[in-house]
Amino acid sequence: MGYPEVLAEPGSKVLMLGNVAVARACLEYGVGLASGYPGTPSSEVVEALAYAASKLGYPYVEWSVNEKVAFEVAYGAAISGVPSVVSMKHVGLNVAADPFFSSAYTGVEASLLVISADDPGMWSSQNEQDNRWYGVHAYIPVVEPAGAQEAREAALEALRLSGEVRHPVLLRLVTRVSHTRAPVTVGALGRPRLRGVFKSIPSRWNLIPAHARRLREELLERWRRIEDLVSRSELNVAEGPRDSQVVVIGVGVGYRYAREALRRLKAQVRLVKVTTPVPLPSKFVLGEVEGRDSVLVVEEGDPVFETMIKTLLQEVGLNTRVYGKRSGHLRATGELRLEDVEGAIAQVLGLGYRRPELLEATVKPPPRPPVLCPGCPYRSVFYAVRRAVKRLGLDVVYSGDIGCYSLAVNKPFNAQDTLIEMGGSVGLANGMSHVLGGRVVIATIGDSTFYHAGIPGLINAVYNKAPMMVLVLDNGVTAMTGHQPHPGSGFNAMGGEARRIPVEDVARGVGVDSVYVAEAFNPRDVEAKALSALRDVGEGKISVVIARGPCILMAMSRARAESIPRPSYVVDSSRCRGCMVCYKAFNCPAITPSGDGKITINKTLCTGCGVCERICPFNAIKPASYIDERWWNLLGLTTSSVGGG
């Protein structure tokens, strides 16, 4: 996918996502290295930088194997004097937390910008954690922009601050900043610093206790200096009457909601915009709050700023009232909404506020959860594995993981009994295997997630002998977040060729004796290999089944690029007996009941994967046209496995 806007002419105003505005700021600053692991809503930062690198020849950009490594990649470059940036989603910082905390002790030689894109509302995540706490916890300053234009400015300022105090800085984005497209005026591209020098200073780079104790003292001193700097930052500003008894503080995107809400309420109230919430810019905040009756804090996520400002007021002996999420004026879960902020401000000001009465339809829509795409190789895999489990009469636990295959949590697959965090499938399966007696545990994990955090769990299973079947769903890319490459893809972030590290080699290398590779689009092959693997588990082995087949979206775009025709499939209604296996058990979105008790295939949705033909018990589904053998090759199928096409 292209991001031409990241290279817009200096001075021009272009529409871009907040994430792309951050990428632009990195190029303007002259960042020499960028790393990350994909995750919604963060992915476009590294994607846009990779796009820029493919055009400019710089900076160095990579998708790393996980967030911890990504952090270390950028950290290593920054202590070697190259301004660097690392990007991840909020939960990714949990994975990177170890080096993150240490980086505050050592500091850096050149800028280190850590980007965390938080997901309030949990649009695409397992939790709603507010990563500003990480800044408080680790003594790393947090910069939090209000929108796309501000994201450019904030990222630039964060890079400058990091370079000035030689300390990492956390840029906290949220979904509505990352994924809102808005006009952004850009500046000139900077000269990148691509080569660095590492100065050996053992007392600084070696965190042995004796050094770390001294470094902690230095850290606290640096923290006071940073607090002073952010108190004078031009990113924190105030507008409106100086004498209003109520002050509204909008932190990050909270400022946008507060500003529009005040305008709609026609309220003459002092509005403070805070872009550097951590450490609390105390002098600036006191200057705005002293002498007022009350303060309303509008912030996305937890009441981080609200809590800190209360502490500050207590310390200086002020009894200004502080309202926000702790006081119940704003909801403590989900995203901010303009009408909620308007209601909260009206409440504090004692104004009447009525929400409009909402329209309601007499017809209720059925739920529409996200589903595996038509032609997704994983549908075929889950269908086949469930059949194998049934044939052996096993009572299994599916220990699930994070990725497209998470969608098998829904009916009819019900093949994700747990879904916790990246790599959790294999890790949890270890514990279950030791305590569940006869129940077989199947850990289902995607290829990217396997490289990310699945391998240590697998080694643990071999070492500590925890029999399980690990089903690796291998579609060749990190599909859910937009098809970013990983160590199994054969190419890298900048589009260059890369050494492929096949999952089966890793599995054998760590001592798994029972390893099977199956064609994902061939359910018979998957079923046969799952049967063998499950029998191996019954004998106390650890078994790995790799079901390989490309993400259908990638296969379709390659077919388009290489002019390979895709087949479409039709139902022979004289043969269809309405058994509904294809609809109810296989559940392809392109297949629906036709009304006469049989089924029909939607030719717009049908991708031509052909799996329905292979699973139909009555040979009632047929291709509508001749099939080009290259299409089967694209899907990773051998001609013999599909019965000659």
Pick from 9, 217, 243, 357: which binds other proteins (CB under 8 A)? 357
Stretch that binds other proteins, among 71-79, 366-374, 462-470, 538-546 (CB under 8 A): 366-374
Selection from 112, 108, 113 nearest residue 204 by Cα: 108
Selection from 139, 207, 131 nearest residue 172 by Cα: 131
Pick from 128, 339, 421, 613: which binds other proteins (CB under 8 A)? 339
Residue placing its CB nearer to other proteins in the complex, 363 or 435: 363
**Is omega for the bond preceding 59 within 30 degrees of 0, making it cis?**
yes
Pick from 11, 197, 208, 362: which binds other proteins (CB under 8 A)? 362
> Residue 85: which H helix or E strand, with range?
strand 84-89
Q: How far is the CB of 360 from other proteins (least distance, A)?
A: 7
Q: How far is the CB of 83 from other proteins (least distance, A)?
A: 28
Residue 485: CA atoms inside 13 Å, Cβ hemisphere, count? 21
Beta-sheet strand order (sheet of 468-474): 396-399, 440-446, 468-474, 542-548, 514-519
The distance of Cα 235 from the centroid of its chain, to the nearest Å, equals 27
- By CB under 8 A, tell whether 623 contacts other proteins: no
Selection from 180, 178, 300, 179 nearest residue 251 by Cα: 300
Q: How far is the CB of 134 from other proteins (least distance, A)?
A: 22
- By CB under 8 A, tell whether 437 contacts other proteins: no
Pick from 139, 583, 631, 632: which binds other proteins (CB under 8 A)? 583
Residue placing its CB nearer to other proteins in the complex, 368 or 499: 368
Stretch that binds other proteins, among 49-57, 332-340, 451-459, 615-623 (CB under 8 A): 332-340
Selection from 38, 198, 32, 4 nearest residue 115 by Cα: 38
CB 235, CB 151: distance < 8 Å: no
- By CB under 8 A, tell whether 364 contacts other proteins: yes
x/- letters, 590..619, toward other proteins (CB under 8 A): --x-----------x---------------
- By CB under 8 A, tell whether 368 contacts other proteins: yes
- By CB under 8 A, tell whether 181 contacts other proteins: yes
Rg of the chain over all Cα atoms, to the nearest angstrom: 27
x/- letters, 71..90, toward other proteins (CB under 8 A): --------------------
Pick from 234, 243, 360, 395: which binds other proteins (CB under 8 A)? 360
Q: Is 113 helix (H, G, I), strand (E, B) or coil?
A: strand
Q: Which residues contact 354 (CB under 8 A, 6 or more apart)?
A: none
- By CB under 8 A, tell whether 240 contacts other proteins: no
Cα–Cα–Cα angle for 4, 6, 12, rounded to 5 degrees: 95
Report d(CA 130, CA 238) in Å as an integer.
25
- By CB under 8 A, tell whether 565 contacts other proteins: no
Handedness of CA 519, 524, 515, 385 (dihedral sign): positive
Four-CA torsion 475, 480, 484, 490, nearest 10 degrees: -10
x/- letters, 460..489, toward other proteins (CB under 8 A): --------------------xxx-------
Residue placing its CB nearer to other proteins in the complex, 350 or 367: 367
Report d(CA 581, CA 400) in Å as an integer.
24
- By CB under 8 A, tell whether 563 contacts other proteins: no
Residue 278 carries which DSSP code?
B
Pick from 76, 187, 190, 412: which binds other proteins (CB under 8 A)? 412
Pick from 182, 229, 237, 462: which binds other proteins (CB under 8 A)? 182
Phi and psi, residue 423, nearest 5°: 85, -5
DSSP readout, 617-637? TT--EEESS---HHHHHHTT-
Report d(CA 216, CA 138) in Å as an integer.
11
CB burial of residue 510 (10 Å; 0-12, 13-18, 19+)? middle
Stretch that binds other proteins, among 64-72, 278-286, 587-595, 619-627 (CB under 8 A): 587-595
Selection from 642, 394, 395 nearest residue 523 by Cα: 642
# residues near other proteins by CB under 8 A: 66
Stretch that binds other proteins, among 63-71, 309-317, 356-364, 615-623 (CB under 8 A): 356-364
Residue placing its CB nearer to other proteins in the complex, 197 or 358: 358
- By CB under 8 A, tell whether 253 contacts other proteins: yes
Q: How far is the CB of 643 from other proteins (least distance, A)?
A: 27
Report d(CA 130, CA 120) in Å as an integer.
8
- By CB under 8 A, tell whether 9 contacts other proteins: no
DSSP readout, 37-51? ---TTTTHHHHHHHH
Stretch that binds other proteins, among 55-63, 329-337, 415-423, 637-645 (CB under 8 A): 329-337
Residue placing its CB nearer to other proteins in the complex, 104 or 581: 581
Q: How far is the CB of 408 from other proteins (least distance, A)?
A: 12
Q: State the helix-helix crossing angle for 97-106 and 209-231, rounded to 10 degrees.
A: 80
Pick from 68, 152, 222, 256: which binds other proteins (CB under 8 A)? 256
Stretch that binds other proteins, among 177-185, 231-239, 385-393, 537-545 (CB under 8 A): 177-185
Residue placing its CB nearer to other proteins in the complex, 111 or 406: 406
Residue 189 carries which DSSP code?
P
- By CB under 8 A, tell whether 237 contacts other proteins: no
Pick from 15, 207, 210, 624: which binds other proteins (CB under 8 A)? 15
Q: How far is the CB of 445 from other proteins (least distance, A)?
A: 17
CB 393, CB 423: distance < 8 Å: no
x/- letters, 381..410, toward other proteins (CB under 8 A): -----------------------x-xx--x
- By CB under 8 A, tell whether 573 contacts other proteins: no
Selection from 300, 292, 70, 325 nearest residue 172 by Cα: 300
Q: How far is the CB of 511 from other proteins (least distance, A)?
A: 35
| Maximum Cα–Cα distance across the chain | 85
Q: How far is the CB of 411 from other proteins (least distance, A)?
A: 6
Strands 591-593 and 599-601: antiparallel
CB 167, CB 140: distance < 8 Å: yes
Q: Which amino acid is at 360?
A: E
x/- letters, 114..153, toward other proteins (CB under 8 A): ---------xx----------------------x------
CA-based end-to-end distance of the chain: 32
Residues 28-67 within binding reach of other proteins (CB under 8 A) = 40-41, 43
> Residue 345: which H helix or E strand, with range?
helix 338-349
Note the residues at the interface with other proteins (CB under 8 A): 13-15, 17, 40-41, 43, 123-124, 147, 176, 179-183, 253, 256-257, 259-261, 263, 335-339, 341-342, 355-374, 404, 406-407, 410-412, 480-482, 583-584, 587-589, 592, 604
